[in-house]
Amino acid sequence: MKRLTAATIGAVMIFFAGNAIAGCIQGDCFNGPGKMDCRGIIYEGTFVNGKMNGQGTKTYPDGKRYVGNFANTRLSGQGTFTYPNGDRYEGNFENNKFNGYGVFICANGAKYEGEFKDCNYHGQGTLHYADGGVYTGLFQNNLPHGQGKMIYPDGRVYEGQFVAGRAEGQGKLTYSDGTVYTGQFVNDLAHGQGNLLCPNGIRQQGQFANGKYMGKG
């Protein structure tokens, strides 16, 4: 399955340069509602002591758009950030970045809902992949990492440990035909000590390597 990367999400390190008053094109850009243009970046909303504070909208020349709360010119609190390609983040911001709980919806149909850290999927969350797969569990730096459950598009279900996006460690894999493997995994494959139970009652118990049964060992 296609994995979403940090590049897909994109860091939101954006700020206004220059004097807030100099670019004021409407209203009160010091204390009150106003509209400011700074090098093509348009902010419309509330100002406090010449800084963006409270609710506002920020539009960028390349089509990006933020609607939500500001604190001392920074994206902070609840807001929505939309990209030109249709990707969208809705949730909490801290220090100009996705931090805390939020939802990232991709134009290709993928959707992540859960915890973010510095614009990355990080913590508990659920990722719906564009191909129909679903992962629920722990994330680290945009990848499944720790305890989780993956439902694959072909009907397989894996529950157990993940490392950097792959099944790794102790886990259980159930196939669509009812076959169940319980044991150790390495790089998404049965590898190490395990037990394979087929629907017809046949059992293979012992050592596995790269997804194949090697014997009792």
Which residue did the predictor score with more confidence, 12 or 61? 61
Would you state the pLDDT for residue 39?
Answer: 87
Mean pLDDT across 126-136: 98
How is residue 81 written in tokens? 């950030």
Query: pTM score, two decimals?
Result: 0.87
The per-residue pLDDT for range 188-206, each reduced to its tens digit, is 999 999 999 999 999 999 9
Query: Per the structure, how many domains does the chain have?
Result: 1
Domain membership flag for residue 24: yes
Q: Tell me which residue of 175, 180, 210, 207 sits closest to 194, measured CA to CA.
A: 207
Strand partners, 34: 27, 45
Domain membership flag for residue 63: yes
Q: Tell me which residue of 138, 137, 142 sits closest to 119, measured CA to CA.
A: 142
Residue 117's pLDDT band (cuts 50, 70, 90):
very high
How is residue 150 written in tokens? 């993956």
- CATH code assigned at 56: 2.20.110.10
Mean pLDDT across 131-160: 98
Q: Could you tell me the residue range of the domain that residue 66 belongs to? A: 17-107
Domain membership flag for residue 46: yes
Strands 212-215, 65-71: pairing is: unpaired
Which residue did the predictor score with more confidence, 27 or 7? 27
How is residue 162 written in tokens? 């993940």
Domain membership flag for residue 217: no
> Mean pLDDT over all residues of the chain?
91
Would you state the pLDDT for residue 101?
Answer: 99
Strands 65-71, 51-59: pairing is: antiparallel
Would you state the pLDDT for residue 217?
Answer: 62
Would you state the pLDDT for residue 16?
Answer: 45
The DSSP output letter for 208 is E
Mean pLDDT across 106-130: 98
Domain membership flag for residue 86: yes
The per-residue pLDDT for range 21-65, each reduced to its tens digit, is 448 999 999 999 999 998 899 999 999 999 999 999 999 999 999
Q: Are 215 and 206 in contact (CB under 8 A)?
A: yes
Q: In terms of DSSP H, where are the helices of 94-208?
A: none
The per-residue pLDDT for range 86-115, each reduced to its tens digit, is 999 999 999 999 999 999 999 999 999 999
Residue 216's pLDDT band (cuts 50, 70, 90):
confident
Is the per-residue pLDDT at 66 higher than 50?
yes
